[in-house]
Amino acid sequence: MVTDTTTAKVSLGPLGTFVLLALSVVLNISGIASIIDGFFRWQGFFRDFLETYRAWIRHPVSWAIHLVWPASWPRIPESLFDVLIVWSGIFLAANLCSLRHYKKLFVQAKIDDEGLFKGIIFAIIAFLFFPLFIALCFLTMKDKHAANYFALETTVYFLFLVSFVIVLMFLNWQFQHHGRI
């Protein structure tokens, strides 16, 4: 009688091994085919999602910034607006997290503590470097330090916001293309 379960071996024999390998190959091929089929079905959604993002988010932000941007300066690349939008989402998530914990927005707490000028300067610096701070916290996360926890919770909030937008866009796309949800 075997008492140690880690050393117990099951012998399938050559036929059993062949059946398991064949089954594994069939399941892998089926999974790959399903992914490819899903890709072609989702291709229209992703194309429409990007078009809607460009029309409703990126182009209005670009237009607003170029209203105040001097014409003699070089034009801002479109990819920089994408970074600005993602960082704005991260900053929004940080403010939501701060609102949950401290009952104040991140920026409002700094303005109350430091004064208007220093608070606004701190908010601008935080906006520019907060995504890098989050990445640094994840790289050095060894304990349950408050900054690491805040970075983790902010990331969860940000991912929730992104997934919420994607689900809403998908439901809208389904409604527009199929007439039902």
How far are the Cα atoms of 19, 52, 64, 66, 134 from residue 60, in angstroms, in the given order?
Answer: 58, 12, 6, 10, 28
Confidence of residue 71 (pLDDT cuts 50, 70, 90): confident
Q: Note the pLDDT tens digit of each residue in 4-47.
A: 555 555 566 666 676 777 788 778 777 777 776 666 667 777 78
9 CB contacts (<8 Å, ≥6 apart)?
A: none
110 CB contacts (<8 Å, ≥6 apart)?
A: 118, 119, 122, 123, 126
Per-residue H/E/C for 136-153: HHHHCCCCCCHHHHHHHH
Q: What is the pTM of this model?
A: 0.61
Average model confidence (pLDDT) for the chain?
77
Give the per-residue pLDDT at 60.
92
Domain ranges of the chain: 59-68+77-181
Residue-wise DSSP of 47-59: HHHHHHHIIIIIH
